[in-house]
Structure 1
Amino acid sequence: MSKNKWKLSRFYLIAVFIILYAPIFYLMVYSFNSGGTMHSFEGFTGEHYAEVFQDTRLLIIVLNTFVIALLSASVSTIIGVLGAIAIFYMRRYRPKQTLLTLNNVLIVSPDVIIGASFLILFTIVGIQLGFVSVLLSHIAFSVPIVVIMVLPKLEEMSPSLIDAARDLGAGTLQVLTKVVLPSISPGIFAGFFMALTYSMDDFAVTFFVTGNGFSTLSVEIYSRARQGVSLSINALSTLIFLFTILLVIGYYFINKRNNRLEGKGAGA
């Protein structure tokens, strides 16, 4: 009976992955189609990828997207790590739970509501829609993600490490930089990469706060898709998907390296 359950669960898992990845591979295959539609595959070609790299405006938008993603991920990681540490060391239960609840509300709130709220806020404050508005909004919705990633690592950290460091004469800054941050580094890297991917993939919030003359890849792809089927969109989406895979692989090896170093440290 257990063997049959194992086969059923494995079949279910395979079916889920097929449903999730089949449309992506369909899109990728037709990015090499020499025809102009996605109905019949006429032959392999790389002209659609050449169109992507020859489109100067699109390359500028790609650069904008990466700059926004890197800046927002870096700033939100710093704020999120400090926020997670502050929440973790709060002694009063009620304020601590209130902050955690407010943090989680931002994660589960619909992107449309968040985007509309930022649009109203920037309009009232007088911030012009464009690079700054997109950057601020991406930082805002990325900070809660970093906090969620870092808090479990803080809870796993042994309090004896901090006590030992203080007994040896370490100050608050030394404890933070030499003990706490190295101990929670896997959570920091996880938060950074999650914030990076969320920023690159976000559409709903960015759509509300972007202005004339500035755009990101998600908004640009949506705008081009509305104008009709273009296989250059397939090529662009394929490149983004492959880049995301590289990010995941990079995070995997960094996490594996950190775990190996932790194992050596524990063995010593």
Structure 2
Amino acid sequence: MSEKNRAGKIYLIIVFALLYAPIFYLMYYSFNSGGNMHEFEGFTLEWYSEVFHDTRLIIIVINTLVIALLSSVIATIIGIVGALAIDRIRRKRVKNTILSLNNVLIVSPDVIIGASFLILFTIAGIQLGFTSVLLSHIAFSVPIAVLMILPRLQEMSPTLVDAARDLGASRRDVLTKVIIPFISPAIFSAFFMALTYSLDDFAVTFFVTGSGYTTLSVEIYSRARAGVSLSINALSTLIFLITTALVVGYYLVSKGNLRRRGKEPASEMGVPR
């Protein structure tokens, strides 16, 4: 192994250690019977039991999942329509302008976006709560969906659409049987990316939540400000483990699909697997 490769691996190990050390520290003390994060006194599952018996927290988790799923689905649908519309624009200057406006929303600070939504909802008379949070999450997820779908759409050869039309396909058939199947990987990527952003968002949600409605990120922040409670550690540990399981499951399914695709041509040609 060369010195360059060895230094690169050591660097990666240090980076990952710095990233995951706080998470493992939090997980370790979620089993502490002492009730603090200074000295580990003994193993206990008390804090996990407290999480599962906290009715309010369970409702907040459900609220968070409903908001994330609804906003991701709606944002992905709008992103598909937006990507199709942008792709059909022939004037390069207009297309670049629209793409720039789309990208500005992605790089804008969450505090600015959250404050803007708060002012907008106040002026429009929209009560802060479920509706305001849902609209906000859809709004900041749409640019992400467009950015994920548009490159895949631009990779599609125009001859596919022309061939479908020559064979008598209607506009609806071209959309549902040619375009959508081709960009389906990007659609799924856009959905999961929007879902991740929605679940993780704190700054925008903090501005637009009402007194009777909140999400998990805002609730964890509120509890952390009130003082150290290891139930937060337990909840964070559960979220981390579930997320890790989903990522690993997605990786295994994707790997299995790639293997099957790699074997398909051989089987079709009569070559034994």
Q: TM-score, with normalisation over the residues of structure 2? A: 0.92
CA distance in 1, matches of 2:157, 2:262: 15
Q: What pairs up with 1:237-248 in 2 under 5 angstroms?
A: 237-248=236-247
Q: What pairs up with 1:35-114 in 2 under 5 angstroms?
A: 35-114=34-113
Alpha-carbon distance change, 261 to 138 in structure 1, aligned in 2, over 3 angstroms: farther
CA distance in 1, matches of 2:231, 2:40: 15
The aligned length equals: 267
CA distance in 1, matches of 2:262, 2:95: 32
Corresponding position of 1:129: 128
CA distance in 1, matches of 2:97, 2:257: 32
Corresponding position of 1:224: 223
Q: What pairs up with 1:99-248 in 2 under 5 angstroms?
A: 99-248=98-247
CA distance in 1, matches of 2:254, 2:181: 13
How far apart are residue 3 of structure 1 and its match?
1.4
Segments of 4+ moved more than 6 angstroms: 264-268
Which residue identity is paired with 2:135? L
- Over alpha carbons, which structure has the higher Rg? 2
Share of identical aligned residues, percent?
72
Corresponding residue SS for 1:42: coil
The alignment's C-alpha RMSD in Å is: 1.8
CA distance in 2, matches of 1:156, 1:78: 20
Check conservation: 1:130, 1:209, Cα contact below 8 A: yes
Which residue identity is paired with 1:17? F
Alpha-carbon distance change, 259 to 164 in structure 1, aligned in 2, over 3 angstroms: farther
Structure 1 unaligned regions, length at least 5: none
CA distance in 1, matches of 2:192, 2:36: 35
Check conservation: 1:193, 1:247, Cα contact below 8 A: no
How far apart are residue 247 of structure 1 and its match?
3.4
Which residue identity is paired with 1:94? R
Corresponding residue SS for 2:16: helix
How far apart are residue 244 of structure 1 and its match?
2.1
Which residue identity is paired with 2:73? S
Alignment deviations for residues 215-259 of structure 1 (CA, whole Å, 9 cap, x no partner): 100000000000100000001111111222233234434544665
CA distance in 2, matches of 1:111, 1:247: 27
Structure 2 unaligned regions, length at least 5: 269-273
Q: TM-score, with normalisation over the residues of structure 1? A: 0.94
CA distance in 2, matches of 1:114, 1:163: 42
Alignment deviations for residues 13-33 of structure 1 (CA, whole Å, 9 cap, x no partner): 111111111101111111111
Which residue identity is paired with 2:44? T
Once structures 1 and 2 are overlaid, which stretch shifts more, 245-254 or 18-27?
A: 245-254
Corresponding position of 1:10: 9
Corresponding residue SS for 2:41: coil
